[in-house]
Amino acid sequence: MNLQNKVAVVSGASRGLGKHFSAQLIEKGAIVFGLARNEADLNGVRNELGEHFHPIVCDVTDPDAVKRAFSSIQESTDSLDILINNAGLGRFGAVEEQSLDDWNLQIDVNISGVHHCTREAVPAMKAQNKQSGFGGHIVNIASVAGLVGNAHLSAYNATKFAIRGYSEALMKELREDGIKVSCINPGSVATHFAGAAGSSGSPNPMQPEDVAATVIHVLEGPDNYLISEVAMRPLRPKG
């Protein structure tokens, strides 16, 4: 897809990977609607990235808030070409010590949040396919933690394995509607993620701009060419 003038929704756009996806989409000429909960952080991204970044305060765990966000996007633009389901978090810990709140939070953001955004985007993309023959592209940010299990990551692993299954199901369900679905599985990336998850993270993580460049490559593929899944890791995670 040529990204010039394309309309993208990026969840978790207030920092980290989502901010870098937004920046690189805008560099390619796209218009980005960025979702996150923290308004001040979103406005900071708007100040950095300029008028092609449209901040929308939205908690992806709240289906009504997601519906309102997509309605407001559809009121301001005719198309919806890209959805990057990126909002996500980890809360690591021993299985018997993991609080029910932390379990539910990871399920709600990492799985239900992806579903709430996807089910709002798909009707618009299907309608677009009927008009132009190209529906759009949904990119789900899973993790290497969706490929292999790790001690103390049981809830997080469960959510990211789930997103790989969800992505594969959607990829098969939506391809005939001209909608591409890709699942991206990064290893450690230098963002706020590890600290918030209660982990020291990798001493030598990947940089978010490098992961974003790969996602841009996936989006820019020719029409009849779908990269359905990608994994990336730091070469030397221990430095």
Ligand X SMILES: NC(=O)c1ccc[n+]([C@@H]2O[C@H](COP(=O)([O-])OP(=O)(O)OC[C@H]3O[C@@H](n4cnc5c(N)ncnc54)[C@H](OP(=O)(O)O)[C@@H]3O)[C@@H](O)[C@H]2O)c1
Residues designated as active site: 156
Is residue 89 a contact point for ligand X (CB under 6 A)? yes
For 207, phi and psi rounded to 5 degrees? -95, 140
Decide whether 66 or 178 has the Cβ nearer to ligand X.
66
Length of the chain counted residue by residue: 239
Distances (CA, A) of 25 to 70, 153, 167, 196: 19, 31, 22, 26
Site track for ligand X across 200-239, x = CB under 6 A: ----------------------------------------
Residues 6+ apart with CB under 8 A from 176: none
* Contact window for ligand X (CB under 6 A) among 14-22, 71-79, 129-137, 168-176: 14-22
41 part of the interface to ligand X, by CB under 6 A: yes
**Distance between CA atoms of 114 and 61, rounded to whole angstroms?**
9
Among 61, 106, 118, 157, binds ligand X (CB under 6 A): 61
- Applying CB under 6 A, does 118 fall inside the site for ligand X? no
Nearer of residues 11 and 128 to ligand X, judged by Cβ: 11
- Max CA pair span of the chain: 52
Minimum CB–partner distance for residue 151 and ligand X (Å):
17
For residue 49, state whether it binds ligand X (rule: CB under 6 A). Answer: no
Q: Does 183 bind ligand X (CB under 6 A)?
A: no
Instruction: Name, in order, each residue with C-beta under 8 angstroms of 65's C-beta and a sequence gap of 6 or more.
Output: 58, 59
